[in-house]
Structure formats: C-alpha cells, structure tokens
A and B are shown apart, each in its own frame.
Chain A
Amino acid sequence: RKEVEQDPGPFNVPEGATVAFNCTYSNSASQSFFWYRQDCRKEPKLLMSVYSSGNEDGRFTAQLNRASQYISLLIRDSKLSDSATYLCVVIKPPGGYQKVTFGTGTKLQVIP
C-alpha cells in the first residue's frame, strides 16, 4: 500500500460547483498534514495546513479524520482559476528526520 494515496482525477466541474478531494495515508502516527496546489509545469505552492479540528480559508475547507486516516479538501463556489493539481502532504512522526511524503495529486478542471 502506498504511504499516501490520492485519486488522480481529473475532476471536471462547472464553475460555481462544490468539489471535494480525499487523501488517505498509511502511517497512523503521522504528525502533520498539508494541501498544496500545483499549476502545470510550476512549483507546488502551499495552500493550507490541515488541523485536527478542521480549518477554513475562504472557499477552502480542510479536514482530518485520524480514525479513518484521511484528509480532505473542500472547494466551494469553484472558479476557473482553481483549475490545478492538488497535492496532499503527510509528515511522519518525530524521531530524527520527519519525512515529508507527497501524494501524486488530484487534477481539477473547472469548466465555464
């Protein structure tokens, strides 16, 4: 089983739609979680951290479910500019170097 798994998509959604992505992780002791956004041929950029209690940043909501070992990203009122690949990131527990593992990404295409 992969350490971090994401549905590659693509998710094709109309403007204004709500879309959600999930990301599962295998190590139950994983410590920190993030969502990144990557535009085609560009560097990944940090979108938001994921906190245990869930957190929101404008149209974006991130949640963590430790019992089922997944994190989610919800995008409300999708914009054309949201079209990108979304990467989930998991940091393993302490003890020396905390390894950072990236999912392979979920591609989102918002259609006019």
Chain B
Amino acid sequence: EAQVTQNPRYLITVTGKKLTVTCSQNMNHEYMSWYRQDPGLGLRQIYYSMNVEVTDKGDVPEGYKVSRKEKRNFPLILESPSPNQTSLYFCASRTGSNYGYTFGSGTRLTVV
C-alpha cells in the first residue's frame, strides 16, 4: 500500500530533551516536507526536501533540523524542544511540482 509512515503517533517529552520524529514513504517521491498544524494557524511548512541531500527551510524552521540521506526517509529533529513546539506534526511527500501531497497520519507532540 502506498503510504507515508511517521512515528511516533503521540509523544510527551520534557523541555530540552532531544527527539526525532521519523518519516518514511514507499512511493519513490522526490519531494518531502514537514508541516506543523496549530489551531487558527493552519498548516505551516517547517522544512522541505526536493531530493536526496537537498533540503531547505520553510516558513517556521527555527528549532528544527532535518536530513535526507535516502530518498524514502526524512526525519525531523528537535535538538532542544521547547513548549512552543507543542503541536500536531505532519510529514508529506509528492512526486512532482503539479501533484498534491500525501500525508502521514501525524505526530501529536507535547513538550512540558
């Protein structure tokens, strides 16, 4: 089944404790992206990647890192999480410039 898989689905952590949210797609898509979704603000792009080893900042990159060492994987790293990073995170992938994104099921992160 074609899908984007992200883990974990739920995570509660403490301020400053490094964490990684994994994302993997099995559709051989070039483009991958991370979004966060907050009430009233909609989906905001954190980072995106056009292909292996090609990543760039989105609209809200502060406090996040990403890597794209393989085409299928695009992990999101929070080196020192803070409470303002409490949010619902989505990983997404698409095949080309005129195609929409396929989303993972989301990761609900709470930083206390």
Contact = CB atoms under 8 A, between A and B. Distances in A.
Interface of A: 31-32, 34, 36, 41-46, 49, 87, 89, 91, 94, 97-100, 102-105
A97 B43 contact: no
Of the candidates B42, B88, B108, the one having the most CB atoms from chain A within 10 angstroms of its own CB is B42
A42 B33 CA distance: 17
Contacts of B56: 97
B42 A105 contact: yes
Nearest to B54: A97
Interface of B: 33, 35, 40-43, 45, 48, 50, 56, 88, 90, 94, 97-106, 108
Contacts of A100: 33, 45, 94, 100-101
B105 A91 contact: no
B17 to A, nearest CB: 25
A41 B88 contact: yes
29 contacts: A31-B97, A31-B98, A36-B100, A42-B106, A43-B90, A43-B103, A43-B105, A43-B106, A44-B43, A45-B103, A46-B100, A46-B101, A46-B102, A49-B100, A87-B42, A89-B100, A89-B101, A91-B97, A94-B97, A97-B48, A98-B97, A99-B45, A100-B33, A100-B45, A100-B94, A100-B101, A102-B42, A104-B41, A105-B42
